[in-house]
Structure 1
Amino acid sequence: MHLSAPSSPDPSLGLLPDALQRRPKLFLALLCLLLWLPGFFTLPATDRDEARFAQASRQMVESGDHVRIRFGEEERNKKPAGIHWLQSASVHVVEATRLGTRDMIWPYRLPSLAGALLAVLATFHWGRAMVGRRAALLGAAMLASCLVLVAETHIAKTDAALLATIAGAMGLFGQAYLRPTAFSARQAAGFWLLLGLGILLKGPIGPMVPLLAGITLAVSDREASWLRALRPGWGVPLMLAAAAPWFIAIGIATEGRFFQQAVGGDMLSKIGSGEEKHWGPPGYYLLTFGIAAFPGAWIVLAALPNAWHDRLNPPTRFLLAWVVPSWLVFEAVQTKLPHYTLPLYPALMLLGAAWAINPMRSPPGRWWRWIGIAGLVGVAAGLAGLALGAPWYLERRLLPAGLLAIPAAGVLVFLLLRAARLRAWGRAGLLGALLAVPLYAAVLEGVAPHLTPLWIAPRLAAAVEARAPGLPAGHFGITGHSEPSVLFAIGQDVRLLRTGTDAAEFLAGGPGRVVAVGDRAEADFRRRATGLALMPEEIASVTGFNYSRGRWVTLLLYRLAS
């Protein structure tokens, strides 16, 4: 299998109007917006990572301190400040244009959406030189519709923005590998600056992917003519210069605590153990790929055996070097989450798309094909079942959008399998990206924002405002539900209390205070309140499902009886 697409028109992509085929970047941008905007504005802040990142960025906006990262009263020395700068900038722009405020979650999601869009466009732009124009268009569309990327665009954290830097850097690396004599100094500077930005977003992950790819290519090719084209002599200092000022500043500001906690606490704990119960066995990412890369995963899986047989072809070789060594590293690390392998998805989608539109492709093996089809059907059915079943489980009701998700999933599966039977794999790939739009919209816009029990923090904030309006800063405490979304919904001065005993003592600490007590801590709270001769008055209650812990919780709001 050769990755270059044929020069004649490919009927498998004839689904697009001629106007959009002539403007592929416009088509990709429109597709991304259709896929990603449902739920973008309406989903409340989610626990735990999104609320932590957004709250830290809001405190950066309010304090004007763009060096130190704080969450509530604590230093957050885990990740560099790059994403917080981007989120702070987006909040300033949104407030300057009066489109929203810093108390809304969607302004903090804008860097994720922009990063994902840039990654999709970079996949098409640089992919053309590797797999041809039509395959690059298909691969970028498949990337845009990946379930994991759709999820990341709705979460205000680093991974979608990081994907943009890696997709751009690896695209430039591919140019240096395939045509080293034509690679300019400006392109080399872009490569190293993108890696520097990646370091500011998520530390060593950005440089790791091209480093491992470069080592793999040098060993397999037994030469590295591309290295001179990348100009590392001044490129590496340029990369370090882009990131070093903040690292020096944060080292001084925290007296070295940032490096101790970020490297010794966060990074090494993820490598050596399953941090926050996010453990997975070897093979975890392969087993979950069908879910994370839905609806294009089955095409990628069908293409991989052919890609391996074609590994002597330079574009295929480069794309495999992009994927394989970093994939093995992620599999070896103890802490595992589906989005960790996202930086490898542009290469995987390009490999899948190149195979799909190649008329000389070899068909996938029978068992390999059935595994891919089972994954496609299973994930589509799972999304439809989730849209239908979640409202029933949480509230004993059905939502109209949940009912619509069933035919949306059914049509997607039927048309994709029909295209596969006709061996129109390119058409199947593009149909998957297009037909994912109504399915995702049903789940993310029609169902998820309306699952009231899931969104405890906004309802708690509304109850506090209704029953204790104008509560002074520092006068609200909570125990039994100390999730980051509470700080984002109510404010950084919320006192996060460990036990019911602490809650009673907080309530006794001054007049006008309000405390929220989880049902599991209520007995300790009342026992200590009796010991302190307090007469707490219950003013409201909020019941919901804490999805971070997988259990129901009831929060009782108390203040001292007047």
Structure 2
Amino acid sequence: MDIKVSISGKMVEKWFHDLQQRPVLAVAVSSLWLLVIGWIAFGWNLGNVGLIDETEPLFAEASRQMLLTGDWITPFFNGVTRFDKPALIYWCQAIAYSIMGVNEWAARTPSVLSAMGVTVLAFYTVQWYFTQKDELEQVTNLPRRYLTAAVAAALMVLNPEMIVWGRTGVSDMLLTGCIGSTLLCFFLGYAQNKRAIVIANWQFPNQWYLASYVLIAGAILTKGPVGIVLPGLIMIAFALYVGKFWQIWREMRPILGMVIVLVLSLPWYILVTWRNGWNFINAFFVYHNIERFTEVVNGHSAPWYFYFLVVLLGFAPYAVYIPASLVKLKLWQRSYWLKQERSQHLGLFVSLWFLGVFGFFTVSVTKLPSYVLPLMPAAAILVALSWSDIFPISQNPTPTHLASLRISGWINVAFITFISIALFNLPQIVGPDPAAPKLYAEMEKSGILKYGGIIWLIIALISSILILTHRYRQIIIINLVGFTAFIAISLMPAILIMDQQRQLPLRELSALIVELKQPNEELIMVGFKKPTVTFYTKQNVNYIKFSQAALKYIQNPGFSKTKLSLLMLIEQEKFPEMKLQPDTYKSLATKGAYHLIRISLPRVNKDKLNPS
């Protein structure tokens, strides 16, 4: 066995050595790897799945309105100002529309590019870090250098959290791209500034610091104050830990940097405030920033341990290696880190990055799964670094690291076994979906839940064999291979079935509305709010929450004097609550759980219906 490992190790090292001798080939292979994993995670069937209610169409439609009206300052949805998020995501989507047309691909392109941008930068950062490590150790460990970077990139994109938000046209991935890239650029600027250089105050010691300020401006234009507060806190914590706060302060040229940030981000805030006044200030700064941090907004409360579960499931199945990765770095040994070269502080930096984001949003009162998305790049690098010691084929881990890998490996086996069992029993765990009654029946009919469960059982079995035979270096690769197989065989078909059952009926009804709607005929939606209808019909929709309110609305005598009819979209099971007489309406179509009818307003008022 040792002879085989030695031979295979030499072959791998020779291959990487040949790759290193051909820089163009090295770049080509790296680019191909990044493109393949990026396409699997974000590009595959991206445009074949309709917009997903309720958040994604809010962004997509506001961006379409921006392109249509030419108003690039104030976002609108359904005829009402939308101040949930700043303008950058709308600008990006509107630009994508102008290039690619108004479609799902274009709406999601900013998220895809953001995810791939931070992944590429992380790949470069990890590869650069090990290049510097090789120089310090006076070795040439090419397998460690390239394999760790490749694994870090794969871990970053092949996890549920990144896949969900990287394929969704909302602002969360754009924010993650900006914040993640800001922090990586900051680290590269810090690590590459090895000695003091006398330069003018209006110059940066390297361009990485400049890039970090530009990206902070992008984060502010994506989400608001958190775009500078969150990365700023992480940078400050890192600078204080390494005892170089004032040195880094001088290097970063903070006054010049803040000028750049303000010049890039402030004009839109000034213009939107000038145009909308207190409405914008109250909606954006007070409600969507201050109150979200200090109070429960929109019912999004959760217990203090909420983000432990989010990270465990969102970074599955690799999250079980995070505790061991943090322990391996020994953050409590500050004296050790102070002796290290700047370039060797990557592990320390991503640890503070991970803990900073996790702690910041744990303190926040309003909690959502997407809030901790900016820590996923740090988690990926953190776990990849912990495996880097055993990627050289000819080397073995230390006894301490070996014990850590064994314990984490068995936890990994238990966790993916749990995932497998959960997939076999998913319909019973989740319960029925009123908006798609046939969803789980279709999934069970297709067998994708069973296939997904089998995949993870196989991965658990293989991982167990690897642990028992002490072949630890293959475990993380098996996890990645298993997750890729899960995407191809189970997850992607499940996404398509969910789209067919939940969203396709609304798209079909929207197309019918566009075809049948008469001039001056209003469209109302009763009992639920599905913004995709606004996007796909390209017209405003009157959302009415309760049946009684809808009855009072259509019974208004003055209403029938100006309009002869209106279109109503309502859930089938809610329709009897309207108690409409047969001669007052005409059923136009029924799709999925939804019913489209045309109501004759004069007849409704003539019959004097009583509200339910």
Normalised by the shorter chain, which TM-score bucket? Answer: 0.7 to 0.9
The letter of the residue matching 2:585 is P
Contact 2:416 2:456 in 1 (8 A): no
Partner of 1:106: 105
Choose which of 560, 566, 572 in structure 2 pairs with 1:513.
566
Q: Does 1:304 align with 2:352?
A: no
Partner of 1:58: 64
Choose which of 89, 97, 104 in structure 2 pairs with 1:91.
97
CA 1:107/1:542 → structure 2, altered by over 3 Å: closer, same or farther?
A: same
Q: Does 1:318 align with 2:367?
A: no
Offset from partner CA, 1:174-221 (integer Å, 9 cap, x none): 123333346734222111001101111111233233311222123323
Query: What secondary structure sits across from 1:539 in the alignment?
Result: strand
CA 1:434/1:206 → structure 2, altered by over 3 Å: closer, same or farther?
A: farther
Contact 1:319 1:348 in 2 (8 A): yes
CA 1:514/1:54 → structure 2, altered by over 3 Å: closer, same or farther?
A: same
Choose which of 478, 487, 492 in structure 1 pairs with 2:525.
478
Offset from partner CA, 1:20-73 (integer Å, 9 cap, x none): 897223202211102223341222211221111111111112111111011102
Cα drift, residue 367 of structure 1: 6.2
Query: What secondary structure sits across from 2:330 in the alignment?
Result: helix
Structure 2 CA distance for aligned equivalents of residues 189 and 348 of structure 1: 25
Partner of 1:250: 272
Contact 1:90 1:108 in 2 (8 A): yes
CA 1:434/1:425 → structure 2, altered by over 3 Å: closer, same or farther?
A: same
The letter of the residue matching 1:454 is R
CA 1:434/1:9 → structure 2, altered by over 3 Å: closer, same or farther?
A: farther
Structure 1 CA distance for aligned equivalents of residues 439 and 180 of structure 2: 40
Partner of 1:159: 172
Cα drift, residue 539 of structure 1: 3.0
Larger CA deviation: 370-379 vs 190-199: 370-379
Cα drift, residue 157 of structure 1: 0.6
Query: What secondary structure sits across from 1:276 in the alignment?
Result: coil
Cα drift, residue 519 of structure 1: 5.1
CA 1:483/1:55 → structure 2, altered by over 3 Å: closer, same or farther?
A: same
Contact 2:317 2:412 in 1 (8 A): no
Counterpart mapping for 1:414-429 below 5 A: 414-429=461-476
Contact 1:32 1:117 in 2 (8 A): yes
Choose which of 230, 236, 244 in structure 2 pairs with 1:215.
236
Partner of 1:148: 161
The letter of the residue matching 1:433 is L
Offset from partner CA, 1:469-494 (integer Å, 9 cap, x none): 25446522111122222212323322
Contact 1:357 1:426 in 2 (8 A): no
Offset from partner CA, 1:319-349 (integer Å, 9 cap, x none): 2222222321111112222221121222222
Structure 2 CA distance for aligned equivalents of residues 284 and 421 of structure 1: 34
Contact 2:179 2:227 in 1 (8 A): yes
Choose which of 310, 329, 336 in structure 2 pairs with 1:288.
310
Choose which of 356, 360, 368 in structure 1 pairs with 2:387.
356
Contact 1:20 1:27 in 2 (8 A): no
Query: What secondary structure sits across from 2:46 in the alignment?
Result: coil
Give unpaired runs (5+ residues) of structure 1.
Answer: 1-7, 96-101, 545-553
CA 1:380/1:335 → structure 2, altered by over 3 Å: closer, same or farther?
A: farther
Choose which of 583, 593, 597 in structure 2 pairs with 1:557.
597
Structure 2 CA distance for aligned equivalents of residues 10 and 489 of structure 1: 56
Cα drift, residue 145 of structure 1: 0.5
Query: What secondary structure sits across from 1:277 in the alignment?
Result: coil
Partner of 1:230: 252
Counterpart mapping for 1:163-182 below 5 A: 163-181=176-194
Structure 2 CA distance for aligned equivalents of residues 381 and 412 of structure 1: 13
Contact 2:158 2:483 in 1 (8 A): yes
Query: What secondary structure sits across from 2:484 in the alignment?
Result: helix
Contact 1:12 1:426 in 2 (8 A): no
Cα drift, residue 109 of structure 1: 0.5
CA 1:218/1:119 → structure 2, altered by over 3 Å: closer, same or farther?
A: closer
Contact 2:443 2:497 in 1 (8 A): no
Query: What secondary structure sits across from 2:597 in the alignment?
Result: strand
Choose which of 272, 283, 287 in structure 1 pairs with 2:294.
272
| Higher RCO by CA contacts (8 Å cutoff, separation 6 or greater) | 1
Partner of 2:134: none
Cα drift, residue 434 of structure 1: 3.4
CA RMSD of aligned residues (A): 3.3
The letter of the residue matching 2:149 is A
Offset from partner CA, 1:199-252 (integer Å, 9 cap, x none): 111112332333112221233233322222221120111011110111111111
Cα drift, residue 439 of structure 1: 1.2
Choose which of 572, 587, 590 in structure 2 pairs with 1:538.
587
Q: Does 1:446 align with 2:499?
A: no
Partner of 1:3: none
The letter of the residue matching 1:354 is L
Partner of 1:377: 417
Partner of 1:27: 33
CA 1:110/1:22 → structure 2, altered by over 3 Å: closer, same or farther?
A: closer
Contact 2:213 2:257 in 1 (8 A): yes
Q: How many residues align?
A: 532
Partner of 1:139: 152
Query: What secondary structure sits across from 1:325 in the alignment?
Result: helix
CA 1:130/1:240 → structure 2, altered by over 3 Å: closer, same or farther?
A: same
Larger CA deviation: 357-366 vs 38-47: 357-366
Structure 2 CA distance for aligned equivalents of residues 428 and 127 of structure 1: 20
Offset from partner CA, 1:515-553 (integer Å, 9 cap, x none): 123456545633xx67xx972233333443xxxxxxxxx
Choose which of 48, 51, 66 in structure 2 pairs with 1:45.
51
Cα drift, residue 365 of structure 1: 7.8
Contact 2:565 2:598 in 1 (8 A): no
CA 1:395/1:353 → structure 2, altered by over 3 Å: closer, same or farther?
A: closer
Partner of 2:141: none
Offset from partner CA, 1:482-507 (integer Å, 9 cap, x none): 22222123233222223334434348
Structure 2 CA distance for aligned equivalents of residues 400 and 21 of structure 1: 40
CA 1:193/1:426 → structure 2, altered by over 3 Å: closer, same or farther?
A: farther
TM-score scaled by length of structure 2: 0.78
CA 1:419/1:365 → structure 2, altered by over 3 Å: closer, same or farther?
A: closer
Contact 1:123 1:140 in 2 (8 A): yes
The letter of the residue matching 2:381 is L
Larger CA deviation: 361-370 vs 130-139: 361-370
Cα drift, residue 450 of structure 1: 2.2
Q: Does 1:490 align with 2:530?
A: no
Cα drift, residue 269 of structure 1: 2.7
Cα drift, residue 457 of structure 1: 2.0
Cα drift, residue 417 of structure 1: 4.2
Query: What secondary structure sits across from 1:287 in the alignment?
Result: helix
For the pair shown, which has the larger CA radius of gyration, 1 or 2? 2
Structure 2 CA distance for aligned equivalents of residues 13 and 555 of structure 1: 65
CA 1:93/1:299 → structure 2, altered by over 3 Å: closer, same or farther?
A: same
Query: What secondary structure sits across from 1:275 in the alignment?
Result: coil
The letter of the residue matching 1:344 is L
Counterpart mapping for 1:319-468 below 5 A: 319-359=350-390, 360=397, 362=401, 363-364=403-404, 369-383=409-423, 386=426, 393-395=440-442, 398-451=445-498, 452-455=500-503, 456-464=505-513
Offset from partner CA, 1:130-155 (integer Å, 9 cap, x none): 45633222111111112100111221
Offset from partner CA, 1:279-319 (integer Å, 9 cap, x none): 22112212332210023223333322212356643332222
Query: What secondary structure sits across from 1:301 in the alignment?
Result: helix
TM-score scaled by length of structure 1: 0.85
Query: What secondary structure sits across from 2:569 in the alignment?
Result: strand
Partner of 2:578: 525
Structure 1 CA distance for aligned equivalents of residues 450 and 328 of structure 2: 39
